[in-house]
Protein backbone atom coordinates (compact mmCIF):
# COMPACT_ATOMS: atom_id res chain seq x y z
CA UNK A 1 0.00 0.00 0.00
CA UNK A 2 2.71 2.34 0.98
CA UNK A 3 4.58 1.89 -2.27
CA UNK A 4 1.54 1.62 -4.47
CA UNK A 5 0.53 5.20 -3.83
CA UNK A 6 3.52 6.27 -5.90
CA UNK A 7 2.83 3.98 -8.80
CA UNK A 8 0.61 6.28 -10.89
CA UNK A 9 3.20 9.06 -10.74
CA UNK A 10 5.94 6.58 -11.42
CA UNK A 11 4.24 5.21 -14.50
CA UNK A 12 3.53 8.69 -15.78
CA UNK A 13 7.05 9.88 -15.36
CA UNK A 14 9.05 6.70 -15.89
CA UNK A 15 8.94 7.25 -19.62
CA UNK A 16 10.18 10.80 -19.14
CA UNK A 17 12.99 10.23 -16.73
CA UNK A 18 14.40 7.40 -14.78
CA UNK A 19 17.39 8.90 -13.08
CA UNK A 20 17.70 7.69 -9.50
CA UNK A 21 20.28 7.17 -6.85
CA UNK A 22 22.87 9.61 -8.09
CA UNK A 23 22.55 9.30 -11.83
CA UNK A 24 20.80 11.94 -13.88
CA UNK A 25 19.01 9.70 -16.31
CA UNK A 26 19.13 6.42 -18.10
CA UNK A 27 17.06 6.46 -21.26
CA UNK A 28 16.30 10.02 -22.30
CA UNK A 29 18.18 13.22 -22.58
CA UNK A 30 17.77 15.42 -19.58
CA UNK A 31 15.04 18.00 -19.90
CA UNK A 32 14.65 20.39 -16.97
CA UNK A 33 11.07 21.19 -17.96
CA UNK A 34 10.12 17.55 -18.05
CA UNK A 35 11.57 16.97 -14.63
CA UNK A 36 9.82 19.98 -13.18
CA UNK A 37 6.50 18.85 -14.56
CA UNK A 38 6.92 15.36 -13.16
CA UNK A 39 7.42 16.77 -9.70
CA UNK A 40 4.27 18.78 -10.16
CA UNK A 41 2.37 15.66 -11.19
CA UNK A 42 3.45 13.96 -8.02
CA UNK A 43 2.38 16.88 -5.93
CA UNK A 44 -0.98 16.95 -7.63
CA UNK A 45 -1.41 13.30 -6.82
CA UNK A 46 -0.48 13.87 -3.21
CA UNK A 47 -2.98 16.68 -2.97
CA UNK A 48 -5.84 14.39 -3.96
CA UNK A 49 -4.92 11.76 -1.40
CA UNK A 50 -7.32 11.27 1.46
CA UNK A 51 -5.72 12.57 4.62
CA UNK A 52 -6.54 9.30 6.33
CA UNK A 53 -4.26 7.40 3.99
CA UNK A 54 -1.25 9.20 5.29
CA UNK A 55 -1.94 8.22 8.84
CA UNK A 56 -2.62 4.63 7.80
CA UNK A 57 0.73 4.56 6.07
CA UNK A 58 2.46 6.02 9.03
CA UNK A 59 1.20 3.15 11.16
CA UNK A 60 2.98 0.77 8.81
CA UNK A 61 6.27 2.56 9.27
CA UNK A 62 8.96 0.50 10.88
CA UNK A 63 8.84 0.78 14.62
CA UNK A 64 12.45 1.89 14.64
CA UNK A 65 11.51 5.16 12.94
CA UNK A 66 12.06 8.21 15.05
CA UNK A 67 8.74 9.35 16.37
CA UNK A 68 9.54 12.97 15.53
CA UNK A 69 9.86 12.05 11.91
CA UNK A 70 6.59 10.18 11.79
CA UNK A 71 4.76 13.18 13.06
CA UNK A 72 6.56 15.45 10.62
CA UNK A 73 5.92 13.30 7.59
CA UNK A 74 2.39 12.53 8.61
CA UNK A 75 1.51 16.15 9.12
CA UNK A 76 3.09 17.15 5.84
CA UNK A 77 1.39 14.48 3.83
CA UNK A 78 -1.91 15.54 5.35
CA UNK A 79 -1.17 19.17 4.74
CA UNK A 80 -0.65 18.50 1.02
CA UNK A 81 -4.44 18.19 0.87
CA UNK A 82 -4.28 21.99 0.95
CA UNK A 83 -2.95 23.93 -2.07
CA UNK A 84 0.81 23.63 -2.41
CA UNK A 85 3.02 26.29 -3.91
CA UNK A 86 4.24 25.07 -7.28
CA UNK A 87 7.92 24.18 -7.09
CA UNK A 88 10.34 25.09 -9.85
CA UNK A 89 13.09 22.84 -8.60
CA UNK A 90 16.14 22.71 -10.83
CA UNK A 91 19.39 20.84 -10.48
CA UNK A 92 22.05 23.06 -8.93
CA UNK A 93 19.59 25.35 -7.10
CA UNK A 94 19.79 26.09 -3.41
CA UNK A 95 16.57 25.45 -1.48
CA UNK A 96 15.70 25.79 2.22
CA UNK A 97 14.21 23.40 4.75
CA UNK A 98 10.75 24.51 5.84
CA UNK A 99 10.00 22.06 8.63
CA UNK A 100 11.36 21.62 12.13
CA UNK A 101 13.05 18.32 11.35
CA UNK A 102 13.57 16.67 7.96
CA UNK A 103 15.05 13.21 7.52
CA UNK A 104 17.72 12.57 4.90
CA UNK A 105 17.31 9.08 3.47
CA UNK A 106 19.48 6.80 1.36
CA UNK A 107 16.65 6.13 -1.09
CA UNK A 108 13.88 8.41 -2.39
CA UNK A 109 11.11 6.92 -0.28
CA UNK A 110 10.10 6.64 3.37
CA UNK A 111 11.29 3.04 2.92
CA UNK A 112 14.84 4.39 2.62
CA UNK A 113 17.08 4.30 5.66
CA UNK A 114 17.44 7.52 7.60
CA UNK A 115 21.04 8.66 7.21
CA UNK A 116 20.81 12.18 8.57
CA UNK A 117 18.59 15.06 9.59
CA UNK A 118 18.09 18.67 8.53
CA UNK A 119 16.55 21.53 10.47
CA UNK A 120 14.36 24.49 9.65
CA UNK A 121 16.14 27.09 7.55
CA UNK A 122 19.06 24.87 6.49
CA UNK A 123 20.27 25.11 2.91
CA UNK A 124 20.44 22.22 0.47
CA UNK A 125 21.57 22.00 -3.13
CA UNK A 126 19.42 20.05 -5.55
CA UNK A 127 21.51 17.28 -7.15
CA UNK A 128 18.77 15.36 -8.94
CA UNK A 129 15.00 15.07 -9.15
CA UNK A 130 13.46 11.68 -8.42
CA UNK A 131 10.17 10.67 -9.99
CA UNK A 132 7.98 10.61 -6.92
CA UNK A 133 8.32 14.02 -5.34
CA UNK A 134 11.64 13.26 -3.71
CA UNK A 135 14.88 15.06 -4.57
CA UNK A 136 18.51 14.16 -4.14
CA UNK A 137 20.24 16.88 -2.16
CA UNK A 138 23.67 17.94 -1.01
CA UNK A 139 23.73 19.41 2.48
CA UNK A 140 26.49 20.67 4.73
CA UNK A 141 26.88 17.21 6.18
CA UNK A 142 25.93 14.70 3.48
CA UNK A 143 24.17 13.80 0.26
CA UNK A 144 20.85 11.96 0.33
CA UNK A 145 17.16 12.15 -0.46
CA UNK A 146 14.44 14.33 1.03
CA UNK A 147 10.84 15.08 0.14
CA UNK A 148 10.56 18.16 -2.07
CA UNK A 149 7.41 19.19 -0.20
CA UNK A 150 9.56 20.29 2.73
CA UNK A 151 11.68 22.70 0.71
CA UNK A 152 11.13 26.34 -0.23
CA UNK A 153 13.12 28.38 -2.69
CA UNK A 154 14.18 31.31 -0.50
CA UNK A 155 14.91 31.98 3.17
CA UNK A 156 12.00 34.43 3.21
CA UNK A 157 9.60 31.58 2.54
CA UNK A 158 10.69 29.58 5.58
CA UNK A 159 7.77 29.63 8.01
CA UNK A 160 8.13 31.06 11.47
CA UNK A 161 10.29 33.59 13.21
CA UNK A 162 12.30 30.71 14.68
CA UNK A 163 13.93 30.13 11.31
CA UNK A 164 16.80 32.52 11.82
CA UNK A 165 17.47 31.23 15.31
CA UNK A 166 17.43 27.63 14.11
CA UNK A 167 19.72 28.44 11.23
CA UNK A 168 22.19 30.23 13.46
CA UNK A 169 22.13 27.29 15.85
CA UNK A 170 23.21 24.90 13.10
CA UNK A 171 26.61 23.30 13.42
CA UNK A 172 29.32 25.51 11.98
CA UNK A 173 30.44 24.40 8.55
CA UNK A 174 32.56 26.03 5.92
CA UNK A 175 30.17 24.88 3.27
CA UNK A 176 27.12 26.22 4.98
CA UNK A 177 28.57 29.68 5.09
CA UNK A 178 29.86 29.54 1.56
CA UNK A 179 26.71 27.93 0.20
CA UNK A 180 24.88 31.09 1.16
CA UNK A 181 23.72 32.74 -2.03
CA UNK A 182 25.24 36.05 -0.96
CA UNK A 183 28.71 34.47 -0.98
CA UNK A 184 28.14 32.55 -4.20
CA UNK A 185 30.73 33.49 -6.79
CA UNK A 186 28.09 33.20 -9.52
CA UNK A 187 29.77 30.44 -11.51
CA UNK A 188 28.37 27.00 -12.25
CA UNK A 189 30.59 23.99 -13.01
CA UNK A 190 29.45 20.57 -14.24
CA UNK A 191 31.65 17.63 -13.23
CA UNK A 192 31.54 14.23 -14.90
CA UNK A 193 33.21 11.38 -13.08
CA UNK A 194 34.21 9.36 -16.13
CA UNK A 195 32.83 5.88 -16.80
CA UNK A 196 30.77 3.83 -14.32
CA UNK A 197 30.90 0.28 -13.01
CA UNK A 198 29.49 -1.27 -16.20
CA UNK A 199 30.20 -0.22 -19.77
CA UNK A 200 27.49 0.29 -22.39
CA UNK A 201 28.47 -1.53 -25.57
CA UNK A 202 25.63 -0.06 -27.66
CA UNK A 203 26.92 2.59 -29.99
CA UNK A 204 26.15 6.25 -30.55
CA UNK A 205 27.41 8.89 -33.02
CA UNK A 206 30.65 10.51 -31.83
CA UNK A 207 29.15 13.91 -32.64
CA UNK A 208 25.82 15.44 -33.73
CA UNK A 209 25.07 14.11 -37.23
CA UNK A 210 28.26 12.05 -37.32
CA UNK A 211 28.39 8.67 -39.10
CA UNK A 212 31.25 7.58 -36.81
CA UNK A 213 29.82 5.30 -34.13
CA UNK A 214 31.49 4.65 -30.77
CA UNK A 215 30.53 2.65 -27.68
CA UNK A 216 28.22 4.66 -25.45
CA UNK A 217 30.42 4.09 -22.42
CA UNK A 218 33.61 2.15 -21.81
CA UNK A 219 34.65 0.73 -18.46
CA UNK A 220 37.93 2.58 -18.18
CA UNK A 221 41.26 1.32 -16.90
CA UNK A 222 42.47 0.18 -13.49
CA UNK A 223 45.50 0.63 -11.29
CA UNK A 224 48.42 -1.62 -12.19
CA UNK A 225 49.66 -1.64 -8.59
CA UNK A 226 46.51 -0.96 -6.57
CA UNK A 227 43.88 -2.69 -8.72
CA UNK A 228 41.70 0.39 -8.13
CA UNK A 229 39.05 0.82 -10.83
CA UNK A 230 39.27 4.08 -12.78
CA UNK A 231 35.52 4.70 -12.38
CA UNK A 232 35.96 4.63 -8.60
CA UNK A 233 39.01 6.90 -8.63
CA UNK A 234 37.18 9.30 -10.96
CA UNK A 235 34.17 9.39 -8.62
CA UNK A 236 36.26 9.86 -5.48
CA UNK A 237 38.19 12.78 -6.99
CA UNK A 238 35.05 14.27 -8.56
CA UNK A 239 33.29 14.35 -5.19
CA UNK A 240 36.33 15.96 -3.57
CA UNK A 241 36.39 18.54 -6.36
CA UNK A 242 32.67 19.11 -5.88
CA UNK A 243 33.22 19.88 -2.20
CA UNK A 244 36.23 22.07 -2.93
CA UNK A 245 34.27 24.10 -5.50
CA UNK A 246 31.29 24.45 -3.15
CA UNK A 247 33.67 25.76 -0.51
CA UNK A 248 34.88 28.35 -3.02
CA UNK A 249 31.34 29.54 -3.76
CA UNK A 250 30.64 27.67 -7.00
CA UNK A 251 27.43 25.93 -7.87
CA UNK A 252 28.24 22.39 -8.92
CA UNK A 253 26.27 20.00 -11.11
CA UNK A 254 27.31 16.35 -10.79
CA UNK A 255 26.68 13.92 -13.65
CA UNK A 256 26.90 11.01 -11.25
CA UNK A 257 27.38 10.42 -7.52
CA UNK A 258 27.26 6.61 -7.62
CA UNK A 259 28.93 3.90 -9.72
CA UNK A 260 25.59 2.90 -11.21
CA UNK A 261 24.87 5.55 -13.82
CA UNK A 262 23.94 4.30 -17.25
CA UNK A 263 24.42 7.58 -19.10
CA UNK A 264 26.39 7.50 -22.35
CA UNK A 265 29.12 9.99 -23.12
CA UNK A 266 26.81 11.93 -25.48
CA UNK A 267 24.03 11.97 -22.89
CA UNK A 268 26.42 13.30 -20.26
CA UNK A 269 27.47 16.11 -22.59
CA UNK A 270 23.88 17.02 -23.43
CA UNK A 271 23.01 16.97 -19.74
CA UNK A 272 25.89 19.33 -19.02
CA UNK A 273 24.80 21.63 -21.86
CA UNK A 274 21.30 21.92 -20.43
CA UNK A 275 22.28 22.09 -16.78
CA UNK A 276 23.11 25.79 -16.79
CA UNK A 277 26.79 25.05 -16.17
CA UNK A 278 29.36 27.33 -17.81
CA UNK A 279 32.05 24.66 -18.16
CA UNK A 280 32.12 20.87 -18.31
CA UNK A 281 35.04 19.13 -16.57
CA UNK A 282 35.34 15.39 -17.25
CA UNK A 283 37.52 13.49 -14.80
CA UNK A 284 39.52 10.50 -16.07
CA UNK A 285 42.78 8.65 -15.46
CA UNK A 286 45.13 7.46 -18.16
CA UNK A 287 46.76 4.19 -19.19
CA UNK A 288 49.71 3.22 -21.37
CA UNK A 289 51.37 -0.04 -22.41
CA UNK A 290 54.61 1.50 -21.21
CA UNK A 291 54.62 1.50 -17.38
CA UNK A 292 57.23 4.27 -17.30
CA UNK A 293 54.89 6.81 -18.94
CA UNK A 294 53.57 9.27 -16.35
CA UNK A 295 52.07 12.72 -15.96
CA UNK A 296 48.89 14.65 -16.67
CA UNK A 297 47.36 15.37 -20.05
CA UNK A 298 44.12 17.25 -20.74
CA UNK A 299 42.02 16.93 -23.90
CA UNK A 300 40.48 19.77 -25.91
CA UNK A 301 38.97 20.05 -29.41
CA UNK A 302 41.12 21.31 -32.29
CA UNK A 303 40.29 24.34 -34.44
CA UNK A 304 39.23 21.87 -37.16
CA UNK A 305 36.46 20.36 -35.00
CA UNK A 306 33.27 20.57 -37.09
CA UNK A 307 30.82 19.99 -34.23
CA UNK A 308 31.74 22.86 -31.93
CA UNK A 309 31.55 26.62 -32.45
CA UNK A 310 34.80 28.56 -32.77
CA UNK A 311 34.07 30.22 -29.44
CA UNK A 312 33.60 26.90 -27.63
CA UNK A 313 36.74 25.47 -29.24
CA UNK A 314 38.77 28.48 -28.19
CA UNK A 315 37.38 28.55 -24.66
CA UNK A 316 37.87 24.79 -24.28
CA UNK A 317 41.55 25.12 -25.16
CA UNK A 318 41.93 27.98 -22.69
CA UNK A 319 40.15 25.91 -20.04
CA UNK A 320 42.33 22.85 -20.71
CA UNK A 321 45.65 24.67 -20.76
CA UNK A 322 44.83 26.85 -17.73
CA UNK A 323 43.59 23.94 -15.65
CA UNK A 324 46.49 21.71 -16.68
CA UNK A 325 49.03 24.34 -15.72
CA UNK A 326 47.57 24.90 -12.25
CA UNK A 327 46.93 21.19 -11.78
CA UNK A 328 50.56 20.28 -12.44
CA UNK A 329 52.01 23.09 -10.34
CA UNK A 330 49.77 22.08 -7.41
CA UNK A 331 50.25 18.31 -7.63
CA UNK A 332 53.84 18.22 -8.90
CA UNK A 333 52.83 15.77 -11.64
CA UNK A 334 54.51 16.08 -15.04
CA UNK A 335 52.78 18.30 -17.60
CA UNK A 336 52.32 16.28 -20.80
CA UNK A 337 50.42 19.10 -22.46
CA UNK A 338 46.97 19.60 -23.98
CA UNK A 339 46.08 16.97 -26.56
CA UNK A 340 43.69 18.12 -29.27
CA UNK A 341 41.35 15.31 -30.29
CA UNK A 342 38.19 15.59 -32.41
CA UNK A 343 37.10 11.97 -31.98
CA UNK A 344 35.83 12.33 -28.40
CA UNK A 345 32.05 11.87 -28.11
CA UNK A 346 31.97 13.65 -24.76
CA UNK A 347 33.60 16.71 -26.30
CA UNK A 348 31.86 16.77 -29.69
CA UNK A 349 28.35 16.88 -28.21
CA UNK A 350 29.17 19.87 -25.99
CA UNK A 351 27.89 23.38 -26.50
CA UNK A 352 29.83 24.71 -23.49
CA UNK A 353 33.61 24.78 -22.96
CA UNK A 354 34.84 21.30 -22.06
CA UNK A 355 38.02 19.49 -21.15
CA UNK A 356 38.82 15.88 -20.39
CA UNK A 357 41.19 15.69 -17.42
CA UNK A 358 43.58 12.74 -17.57
CA UNK A 359 44.85 13.05 -14.00
CA UNK A 360 47.79 10.68 -14.36
CA UNK A 361 48.69 7.17 -15.49
CA UNK A 362 47.21 4.22 -13.59
CA UNK A 363 49.59 2.05 -15.64
CA UNK A 364 52.53 3.66 -13.84
CA UNK A 365 52.88 1.90 -10.46
CA UNK A 366 54.14 4.98 -8.61
CA UNK A 367 51.51 7.32 -10.04
CA UNK A 368 48.79 4.72 -9.49
CA UNK A 369 49.62 4.44 -5.79
CA UNK A 370 49.86 8.20 -5.47
CA UNK A 371 46.44 8.79 -7.03
CA UNK A 372 44.84 6.07 -4.90
CA UNK A 373 45.85 7.93 -1.73
CA UNK A 374 42.97 10.09 -0.39
CA UNK A 375 45.45 12.72 0.83
CA UNK A 376 46.85 13.10 -2.66
CA UNK A 377 43.34 13.04 -4.10
CA UNK A 378 42.62 16.12 -1.98
CA UNK A 379 45.65 17.81 -3.57
CA UNK A 380 44.35 16.81 -7.00
CA UNK A 381 41.01 18.44 -6.18
CA UNK A 382 42.83 21.57 -5.02
CA UNK A 383 44.83 21.70 -8.23
CA UNK A 384 41.75 21.31 -10.42
CA UNK A 385 39.88 23.96 -8.42
CA UNK A 386 42.87 26.32 -8.67
CA UNK A 387 42.74 25.91 -12.44
CA UNK A 388 38.99 26.56 -12.53
CA UNK A 389 39.49 29.68 -10.39
CA UNK A 390 42.15 30.87 -12.83
CA UNK A 391 39.93 30.18 -15.85
CA UNK A 392 37.23 32.37 -14.34
CA UNK A 393 39.83 35.03 -13.45
CA UNK A 394 39.39 34.54 -9.74
CA 265 – CA 271 distance, rounded (Å): 10
Nearer Cβ to Zn ion, position 194 or 360? 194
Give the residue with the Cβ less far from Zn ion, 148 or 350: 350
Query: What does residue 298 show for φ and ψ, rounded to 5 degrees?
Result: -110, 145
- The reply to whether 284 sits near Zn ion by the rule CB under 5 A is yes
Of the candidates 22, 92, 144, 194, which one interacts with Zn ion according to CB under 5 A?
A: 194
Q: Which residue is nearest to Zn ion (CB)?
A: 284
The sheet with strand 296-300 has its strands ordered as 251-254, 188-193, 279-286, 354-361, 296-300, 335-340
Per the CB < 8 A criterion, the answer to whether 291 and 331 are in contact is no
Closer residue to Zn ion, CB minimum distance, 143 or 230: 230
Q: What are 118's strand-pairing partners?
A: 102
Which span (196-204, 215-223, 300-308, 364-372) binds Zn ion, by CB under 5 A? 215-223
# residues near Zn ion by CB under 5 A: 3
Residue 385's SS3 state is: helix
Alpha carbons 263 and 351: distance in angstroms, whole number: 18
140 and 94 Cβ atoms separated by less than 8 Å:
no
> Is residue 223 close enough to count as binding Zn ion by CB under 5 A?
no
What are the Cα distances from residue 180, in Å, to 25, 144, 305?
A: 28, 20, 39
From 150-158, 185-193, 216-224, 321-329, span contacting Zn ion (CB under 5 A): 216-224
**Is residue 121 involved in binding Zn ion (CB under 5 A)?**
no
Which residue lies nearer to Zn ion by CB, 220 or 301? 220
- Cβ closer to Zn ion: 220 or 387? 220
Q: Which stretch binds Zn ion (CB under 5 A): 56-64, 82-90, 175-183, 278-286?
A: 278-286
The residue from 220, 346, 353, 383 that contacts Zn ion (CB under 5 A) is 220
**Rounded Cα–Cα distance for residues 132 and 226 (Å):** 40
Q: Is 249 in the site for Zn ion (CB under 5 A)?
A: no
Residue 346 as a binder of Zn ion (CB under 5 A): the answer is no
Torsion, CA 50, CA 53, CA 55, CA 56, rounded to 10: 160
- Residue 42 or 355 with smaller CB distance to Zn ion: 355
Q: Which is nearer to Zn ion, 6 or 361 (CB)?
A: 361
Q: Are strands 251-254 and 188-193 parallel, antiparallel or unpaired?
A: parallel
User: 358, 296 in Cβ contact below 8 A?
Assistant: yes
Binding segment for Zn ion (CB under 5 A), chosen from 46-54, 197-205, 212-220, 237-245, is: 212-220
Q: Footprint of Zn ion on this chain (CB under 5 A)?
A: 194, 220, 284
Amino acid sequence: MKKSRFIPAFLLSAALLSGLAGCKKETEYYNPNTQTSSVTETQTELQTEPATQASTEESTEASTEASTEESTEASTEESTAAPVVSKELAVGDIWYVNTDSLNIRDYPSTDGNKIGELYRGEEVRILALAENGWVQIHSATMDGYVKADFLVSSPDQVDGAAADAAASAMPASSETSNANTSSSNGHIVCIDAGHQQAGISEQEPNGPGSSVMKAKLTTGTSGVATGLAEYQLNLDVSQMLQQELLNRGYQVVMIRTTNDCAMSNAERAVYANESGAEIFVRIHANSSNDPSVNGAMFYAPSSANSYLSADVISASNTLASTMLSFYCSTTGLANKGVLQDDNMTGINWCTIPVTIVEMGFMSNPEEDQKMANPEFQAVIAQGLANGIDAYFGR
